[in-house]
Structure 1
């Protein structure tokens, strides 16, 4: 009897161990294959509402996003956001290690926190993840950044970025931002308008592109100059 009981316990233990191993394998496969599949689908399909969009709607901000292809977005805006947010966008593979090191040194010095995220990282965060910072999100952001760089390529990353980012209360994407601020299409933005839209990306709920204060006017001027450099040096050639 004792030998039979030991045999049954051993069999149960083996079954539990096997189920545990299969569960771990399932989690790993889903954790790796799931994001790859989603990113592959979004290579061709406009991503739906993001976590931030849902959160803003709960807060009462409304929702206005009008997806347009990159070909219907002014090259002036592309150059402006590259000049303002990520001048090495066409050179790096998702991560600008020099900018990251500078941001870390800046933050360690006790100054106002500054990020070193590239446009690729911002796109990964905006489309796939929640808006609040934590180490889990940062790890997932890194994984999704690698995926979109490998599966989407630079033009698609820029297209999704310009159609997904927040540009004011309830405003998402270049078309909605251009219409709301300047009553023109995203394709019709002139250099000054494009620079002012790029200028408010860091604080879209506080800063205004249509009625800029002195700081945004000055910042917009700097970005317009940076956009000129982007054009002259071919820093947007991977997109335009």
Structure 2
């Protein structure tokens, strides 16, 4: 009986911890719909790993970001962003079908998933992290408007080692505020997002140049600035 009581106590303790974490995340989600996050899990992780390197970030509102920038990241990473509920199940099915057909397994993360991951979680490919990411993405999409998701994403995304957010990236790489970014400059920034630790805005490799060309084409195919005008 004593052993059974101990097991039941442990289970209750775990349940309460999970409930407390769920309540914490829910509270933060509602708070961050209106209040800008002071930092992110990825920024904290980078600061701890590089204590002598200053993180460069400057928060700007969505209205202070060139409309070409959200279009560039949507064209590059998540073209069904206006329509899905945080997870693009069609893209996941397509990725799995390509994998079973013998092609490499590609990622199918949405901008919402990347926002949730960057803000709350850690980097990696574990099943636990991906499950948490998916759950948080659904919650984020249910609580935040699409415009807010893009605003937070563009302010916490990493564009280079220690460079977070589109405002810092615009000033460092082009010497201009984010509101002045051209379509070509926005595409260059979006092109490095898959791996900003390796891909460079200022010294683009052939791969980055090809991505910029492809992103510009996708921006045009999505009807340009009209695509996100209703967000």
Per the TM superposition, whether the score is higher than 0.5 is: yes
CA contact (8 A) 2:58 2:167 kept: yes
Distance 1:28 1:213, change over 3 A: closer
Higher Rg of the two aligned structures: 1
Alignment match, 1:57: 47
1:33 aligns with 2:23: yes
Distance 1:69 1:19, change over 3 A: same
CA-CA distance at 1:143 after TM superposition: 1.6
Alignment match, 1:198: 190
Alignment match, 1:3: none
Distance 1:101 1:22 in 2: 37
Secondary structure at the aligned position of 1:167 is classed as strand
Secondary structure at the aligned position of 2:222 is classed as helix
- Name which of 67, 73, 76 aligns with 1:84: 76
Secondary structure at the aligned position of 1:47 is classed as coil
1:175 aligns with 2:167: yes
**CA RMSD in angstroms, aligned pairs only:** 2.4
CA contact (8 A) 1:56 1:62 kept: no
1:220 aligns with 2:201: no
CA contact (8 A) 2:71 2:224 kept: no
CA-CA distance at 1:79 after TM superposition: 0.7
CA-CA distance at 1:52 after TM superposition: 2.1
Distance 1:136 1:191, change over 3 A: same
Instruction: Give 1:77-226 correspondences, 5 Å limit.
Output: 77-109=69-101, 111-226=103-218
Instruction: Count matched residues.
Output: 229
What's the TM-score once normalised by structure 1's chain length? Answer: 0.85
Note the residue ranges of structure 1 that are not aligned, 5 or more in a row: 1-8
CA-CA distance at 1:106 after TM superposition: 3.1
Distance 1:156 1:14, change over 3 A: same
CA-CA distance at 1:84 after TM superposition: 0.4
CA contact (8 A) 1:51 1:130 kept: yes
Secondary structure at the aligned position of 1:65 is classed as coil
Mean Cα displacement is larger for which, 176-185 or 138-147?
138-147
Note the residue ranges of structure 2 that are not aligned, 5 or more in a row: none
